[in-house]
């Protein structure tokens, strides 16, 4: 840091130097020249990498300082000051000191140096010694292994701390509602057309399975997410890092996070591609498709209340129209569908970014990090909102389930083994044409006793599968 300056708009600056020369940096900024250059160069979107990602980079700096200290590479007072500075960032302080746009250098070097500079400034304040962003905070590291590691670490922590519990909660709420509604039978639908009956609990069991399978798919990706790039440094060879650094780093990171991180068997893979992030994003997209299916089922079932299906009534959360009094809309399922659309779009961006690994480095790392973490966060929040504000509180409208069920001509399917497909089709067409219950028409068209027809055509019995004839 050198002299303080002031310009005509009365904002104070200081002059900082880096390898390219002097840069004017706001006096109140903890960051230095390289961050300021990035702020000026990448005035693109106003979007910032999320706090979870900055925290992951700070955690990497903290862990590296401890390992370098233990290896005798970094003086203990400086290492301790770096650790304390990183802890302050991890505690949520100084969030305004990370202004670099998402759309920056593809390696994420600007964000890496931003964190390095802020930690160095805080460490100097605490320890009273000169602390270099490059020589001390970035010791044994490169942006090229730090940012890929931060992608994996931040995503793994977000999955464990947010997504897993939200998905489990949603599945449990669906399963609880299924138990509560086990006696309700409704018209099944295929192609949005009337089909054989199903119980409401059977329908909900499909939803719950979608969520639980989605979580299983995500968990299946975790072993590869735990493999980290740290120690590969610039191109995967580990230049300027101690031979034991990568192993010790992963062990220490695992102790802090309680997650089984380990050095990747090939740092060349870690640096040159983002295949694991692409894989994880694909699983998140699959989950998004499942959430959209469930949300749309709820919207259809809630439609009406008079001119739609009207099978259920979702909780009334807010007025639905600025002009039509009394209108209430399915706002939670709609919000969930929009989340799903965003996640599907994020996956497309991550897919494009994932194929941007040229030789030894992927050069779209920041956009991978941003979209991956956004997908995890909004899916976790949407799952919890869907559980608590839609699934937990909807009410069955029994009359609207029972009336169309009694007249459903597809019930005649149960008579196929007894009277044959063609005769059953004839009965169904007549019942539909005359608007009469199947049992009445079947009694006229067949010799089957009324009580036998009642047994064969009982909607609840038909939800059990098998052949109707005893």
Instruction: Find, among 384, 377, 354, the residue nearest to 154 by Cα.
Output: 377
Contact (CB, 8 A) for 469 and 417: yes
State the CB neighbour count (10 A cutoff) for residue 71: 16
Is the distance from CB of 69 to CB of 76 less than 8 angstroms? Answer: yes
Residue 321 among the catalytic residues: yes
Q: Are 61 and 86 in contact (CB under 8 A)?
A: yes
Nearest to 260 by CA among 251, 247, 248, 269: 251
Helix or strand run (H / E) with residue 270: helix 267-272
Q: In the chain, what is the straight-line distance between the N-terminal and C-terminal CA atoms, in Å?
A: 91
Paired with 25 in beta bridges are 14
Q: Which of 6, 45, 266, 321 is catalytic?
A: 321
DSSP for residue 48: B
d(CA 231, CA 371): 25
Distance CA 366, CA 353 (A): 9
Which listed residue (191, 272, 281, 356) is catalytic?
A: 191
- Residue position matching structure tokens 């409704």: 186
In the numeric block, which tokens belong to residue 277?
A: 């992030």
- CB-neighbour burial class of residue 323 (10 A; exposed 0-12, middle 13-18, buried 19+): exposed
With CA atoms as reference, report the closest residue to 143 among 230, 50, 255: 230
**d(C-alpha 374, C-alpha 285), whole Å:** 12
Distance, CA of 311 to CA of 290 (rounded, Å): 21
For 334, 350, 363, the CA distances from 267, given in Å and listed in that order, are 43, 21, 16
What count of other Cβ atoms lies within 10 Å of the Cβ of residue 361? 22
- The number of beta carbons lying within 10 Å of the beta carbon of residue 437 is 17
461 belongs to the catalytic site: no
SS3 202: helix
The neighbour count for residue 449, using CB atoms within 10 Å, is 10
E-only strand ranges, 116-238: 185-190, 193-199, 227-228
Report how far residue 224's alpha carbon sits from residue 462's, in angstroms, rounded to the nearest whole number.
46
Q: Is the separation of the CB atoms in 230 and 128 below 8 Å? A: no
Element (H, E) at 395: strand 395-396
By annotation, the residues acting in catalysis are 191, 321
């Amino acid at each position: 840091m050198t002299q303080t300056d002031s310009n005509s708009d009365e904002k104070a600056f200081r002059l900082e130097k880096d390898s390219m020369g002097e840069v004017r940096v706001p006096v109140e900024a903890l960051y230095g020249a390289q961050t300021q250059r990035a702020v000026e160069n990448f005035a693109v979107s106003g979007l910032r990498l999320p706090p979870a990602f900055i925290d992951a980079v700070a955690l990497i700096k903290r862990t590296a300082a401890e390992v370098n200290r233990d290896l005798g590479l970094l003086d203990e007072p400086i290492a301790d000051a770096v650790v304390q500075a990183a802890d302050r960032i991890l505690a949520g302080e100084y969030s305004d000191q990370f202004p670099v746009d998402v759309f920056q250098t593809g390696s994420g070097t600007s964000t890496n140096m931003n964190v390095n500079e802020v930690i160095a400034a805080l460490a100097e304040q605490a320890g009273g010694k000169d602390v270099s962003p490059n020589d001390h905070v970035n010791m044994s590291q490169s942006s090229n292994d730090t940012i890929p590691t931060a992608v994996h670490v931040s995503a793994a922590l977000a999955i464990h701390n947010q997504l897993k519990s939200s998905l489990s909660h949603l599945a449990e709420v669906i399963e609880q509602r299924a138990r509560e509604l086990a006696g309700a039978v409704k018209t099944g639908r295929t192609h949005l057309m009337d089909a054989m009956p199903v119980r409401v609990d059977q329908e909900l069991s499909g939803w719950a399975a979608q969520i639980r399978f989605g979580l299983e798919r995500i968990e299946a990706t975790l072993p590869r997410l735990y493999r980290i790039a740290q120690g590969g440094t610039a191109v995967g060879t580990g230049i300027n890092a101690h031979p034991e650094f990568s192993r010790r780093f992963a062990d220490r990171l695992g102790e802090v996070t309680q997650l089984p991180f380990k050095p990747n068997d090939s740092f060349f893979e870690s640096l040159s591609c983002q295949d694991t992030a692409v894989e994880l994003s694909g699983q998140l997209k699959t989950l998004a498709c499942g959430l959209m299916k469930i949300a749309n089922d709820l919207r259809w079932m809630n439609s009406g209340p008079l001119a739609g299906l009207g099978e259920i009534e979702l909780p009334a959360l807010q007025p639905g129209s600025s002009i039509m009094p009394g209108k209430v809309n399915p706002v939670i399922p709609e919000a969930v569908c929009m989340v799903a659309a965003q996640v599907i779009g994020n996956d497309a961006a991550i897919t494009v970014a994932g194929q941007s690994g040229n030789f030894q480095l992927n050069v779209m790392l920041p956009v991978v990090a941003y979209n991956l973490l956004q997908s995890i966060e909004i899916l976790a929040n949407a799952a919890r909102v869907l559980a608590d504000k839609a699934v937990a509180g909807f009410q069955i409208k029994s009359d609207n389930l029972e009336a169309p069920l009694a007249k459903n001509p597809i019930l005649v399917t149960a008579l196929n083994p007894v009277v044959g497909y063609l005769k059953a089709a004839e009965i169904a067409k007549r019942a539909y044409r005359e608007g009469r219950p199947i049992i009445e028409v079947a009694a006229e068209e067949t010799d089957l006793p009324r009580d036998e027809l009642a047994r064969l055509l009982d909607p609840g019995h038909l939800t059990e599968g098998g052949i109707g004839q005893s």
